[in-house]
C-alpha cells in the first residue's frame, strides 16, 4: 500500500521531533508498505528502501491560496504518486479527495471544523479529543490517542555537566525553566509576575530561564522589570545543548497548556527534573501525582515554585515518580499506537 505523509517545515520543533522520531520505527513495523514523504524541508526520514521523499513547494500563507494549494497542488500529487492513504502532520486534509485521511494534531484550536469532519481519523491527545468532540460534535471513535515520547537524546546529566551548564547560562545559579511557546503575550507577563512573587517572598538568587529566540519580543517586555537580570532567554544551538539545559534545571514550569507541554514534561521527567503545571494542562491527564499541579493564577503558580524551593523531599519524590512514569511512553510504543491508527483509517 502507498502511504503518503505530509511533513511541512512549519511544524514546531516538538511536533516535528514527534513525527520524525515516531516514523523511524513505524517504517520498520510496516515494511510491506511504501511510504512517500511529501515535504518542503530537507530532512532525513530514514534509508529504508520502502521510504521515498518528494519535495514540494511551501504552502502559501494566504488562506485562499492555501486552499487552492491543498485541493489542486497537493491533491494532484497524491493522485500522481498513487497514494492509497494520506497522513497530514499539519492541521488540514483535502476536502476533495476520496482517499482515507489521517491528521496528526497537537492541539484542537488549530484545526477547522471542515477538516476535522472530513478526515477518517484524527490522532491527538486526550484533552484535544474532548475539545474536538464538544466543539465540533464529532464521534469520538474517529479520534485516536497517541502520546509523544521524550526521545532518546534527553536524559539526566552528571554533576559536572549540570554545573557547567549553570555556569554558562545562569552564573552558576539554580533556575526554573520554561519554554517560550506562549499562546499570548499576557502568558509571558503572568509567568514573570509569578517569578516576581517567588523572588520577593524567598529572597533567593534563583533565575528564570526561558528557551526561545533571543531576538523575540520577550526581552522588550522586561526592560523595566525589577528582576530583569534574573530572567535569561536562551536559544540552544543543538538538541544536545537543549537537553543539557533541561537536565540542569531545578524544575520546569509549564502553566499555560500549550501543545508543546507534554513533550517538554516528558523530557524533563526523563532528565530527572520536577514539573510544575496547572490543573487545566494536558499533562495532568496522564501524569497524575508525578507533577505538581497549581491553579492558573499568578500567585498560585508562584506558591508551587516556593513549595519546591522549600521542600526538597517533595521535589525528590516528583523526580522519582516522573522517571517511573515516562518509561511507559517510548518511541516504540508511540509508533505502535500510530500504526494501529493508520490501520483504522485504512479500514
Q: Tell me the mean pLDDT in the region 272-298.
A: 90
Q: Taking a C-beta distance cutoff of 8 angstroms, is the pair 270, 246 a contact?
A: no
Share of the chain above pLDDT 90, in %: 49
- For residue 110, is pLDDT > 90? no
Q: Tell me the mean pLDDT in the region 8-12.
A: 76
C-alpha dist (Å) from residue 262 to 19, 192, 266, 285: 14, 22, 6, 10
Of the candidate CATH numbers 3.40.50.2000, 3.40.50.10890, 3.90.1580.10, 2.40.50.140, the domain formed by 2-148+330-346 belongs to 3.40.50.2000
CA distance 177 to 233: 10
Where are the chain's structural domains? 2-148+330-346, 159-326
Residue-wise pLDDT tens digits, 45-68: 667 788 888 999 889 989 899 999
Cell of 24: 523511524
Of the candidate CATH numbers 1.10.357.10, 1.10.287.890, 3.40.50.150, 3.40.50.2000, the domain formed by 159-326 belongs to 3.40.50.2000
Q: Which residues contact 137 (CB under 8 A, 6 or more apart)?
A: none
Q: Taking a C-beta distance cutoff of 8 angstroms, is the pair 346, 126 a contact?
A: no
Per-residue confidence (pLDDT) for residue 171, from 0 to 100: 94
Amino acid at each position: 500500500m502507498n502511504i503518503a505523509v505530509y511533513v511541512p517545515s512549519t511544524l514546531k520543533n516538538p511536533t516535528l521531533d514527534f513525527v520524525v522520531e515516531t516514523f523511524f520505527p513505524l517504517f520498520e513495523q510496516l515494511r510491506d508498505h511504501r511510504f512517500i514523504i511529501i515535504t518542503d524541508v530537507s530532512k532525513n526520514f530514514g534509508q529504508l528502501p520502502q521510504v521515498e521523499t518528494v519535495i514540494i513547494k511551501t504552502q502559501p500563507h494566504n488562506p485562499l491560496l492555501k486552499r487552492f494549494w491543498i485541493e489542486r497542488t497537493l491533491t494532484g500529487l497524491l493522485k500522481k504518486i498513487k497514494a492509497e492513504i494520506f497522513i497530514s502532520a499539519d492541521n488540514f486534509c483535502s476536502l476533495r479527495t476520496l482517499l482515507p485521511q489521517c491528521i496528526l494534531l497537537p492541539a484542537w484550536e488549530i484545526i477547522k471544523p471542515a477538516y476535522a469532519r472530513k478526515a477518517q481519523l484524527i490522532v491527538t491527545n486526550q484533552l484535544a479529543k474532548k475539545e474536538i468532540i464538544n466543539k465540533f460534535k464529532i464521534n469520538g471513535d474517529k479520534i485516536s490517542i497517541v502520546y509523544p515520547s521524550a526521545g532518546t537524546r534527553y536524559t539526566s546529566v552528571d554533576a559536572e555537566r549540570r554545573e557547567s551548564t549553570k555556569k554558562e547560562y545562569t552564573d552558576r545559579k539554580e533556575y526554573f525553566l520554561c519554554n517560550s511557546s506562549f499562546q499570548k503575550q499576557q502568558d509571558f507577563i503572568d509567568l514573570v509576575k509569578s517569578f516576581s512573587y517567588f523572588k520577593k517572598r524567598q529572597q533567593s538568587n534563583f533565575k528564570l530561564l526561558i528557551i526561545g529566540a533571543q531576538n523575540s519580543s520577550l526581552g522588550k517586555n522586561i526592560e523595566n522589570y525589577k528582576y530583569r537580570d534574573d530572567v535569561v532567554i536562551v536559544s540552544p544551538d543543538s538538541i544536545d545543548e537543549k537537553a543539557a539545559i533541561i537536565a540542569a534545571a531545578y524544575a520546569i514550569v509549564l502553566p499555560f497548556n500549550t501543545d508543546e507541554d507534554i513533550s517538554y514534561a516528558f523530557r524533563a521527567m526523563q532528565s530527572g527534573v520536577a514539573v510544575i503545571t496547572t490543573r487545566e494542562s494536558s499533562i495532568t491527564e496522564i501524569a497524575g501525582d508525578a507533577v505538581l499541579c497549581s491553579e492558573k493564577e499568578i500567585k498560585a503558580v508562584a506558591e508551587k515554585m516556593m513549595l519546591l524551593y522549600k521542600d526538597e523531599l517533595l521535589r525528590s519524590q516528583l523526580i522519582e515518580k516522573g522517571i517511573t512514569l515516562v518509561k511507559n511512553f517510548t518511541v516504540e510504543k508511540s509508533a505502535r499506537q500510530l500504526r494501529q491508527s493508520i490501520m483504522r483509517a485504512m479500514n
